[in-house]
Amino acid sequence: MSGQPAFNIREFVPQDLEQVHELFANGLIEFAGENGHGVRRYVDSALKEDKKDIPTQYQAHFGGNFWVAEFLDVLIGHVGIQPTDKEGEAELRRMSVSSHWRRRGVGRCLLRTTENFCRSRGYSRIVLSTVDFLKPALAMYRNNDYILVKVESYGVPPVDKINVHHLVKELYPITLRIRRNPDPW
């Protein structure tokens, strides 16, 4: 036994909305530093757009979903998946893990959940974007085989200079590998 308390990952339900909004906002603002003004604008926009109606934006179609990680009825993380306009491709969106739960496997479990879901829906790749000041997130994605494909500037320097990192992970079907003895005798 690892000694870490067990958490649960489940699909989002509407009663989770307030905790999801709080977790999302706090997670970004915590790392914003000198980019606070631009990050607050981004958070406000996200909360008014796709995070306002998670069931419609993420769960209303076969190719998308939104999950939460919880411990004792408190949300400690969340992540969404949406199809892109490219065949076989999904976008990982809005991942956040509570500061008290980072580096305890919550993010990895959320990633694994999205990857298994994507495989079950026939996706062959997952794309995502994150910002340079979310260094722990960038490290986690790299450690889980997400490859950097592009970095682009966002915002108006010098106040809102943020670099957006675009990453991709190719998904391969889970296959059973049979070990064969090279010497049949």
- What's the number of CA atoms in the CB half-sphere (13 Å) around residue 1? 4
pLDDT at position 158: 59
In-domain check, residue 66: yes
- Of 44-53, 130-139, 153-162, 176-185, give the range with the top mean pLDDT: 130-139
Helical H segments across 33-183, by residue range: 36-48, 54, 106-120, 135-143
Mean pLDDT taken over the chain: 84
Residue 177 in domain:
no
The CA distance from 68 to 160, in Å, is 30
Instruction: Say if 89 falls within a structural domain.
Output: yes
> Is 182 or 166 the better-scoring residue by pLDDT?
166
Number of domains in the chain: 1
Residue 45 has pLDDT above 90, yes or no: no
pTM for the whole thing?
0.83
Instruction: Assess if residue 155 is contained within a domain.
Output: yes
Tell me: the pLDDT tens digits for 145-175?
999 999 988 766 655 678 899 999 999 765 5
pLDDT band per the 50, 70, 90 thresholds, residue 133: confident
| Higher-scoring residue by pLDDT: 155, 26 | 26
Each residue's pLDDT tens digit, 84-126: 999 999 999 999 999 888 888 899 999 999 999 999 999 999 9
User: Where do we find the tokens 């974007």?
Assistant: 129
Look up the domain containing 115 and give its range.
Answer: 8-170
CATH code, 12: 3.40.630.30
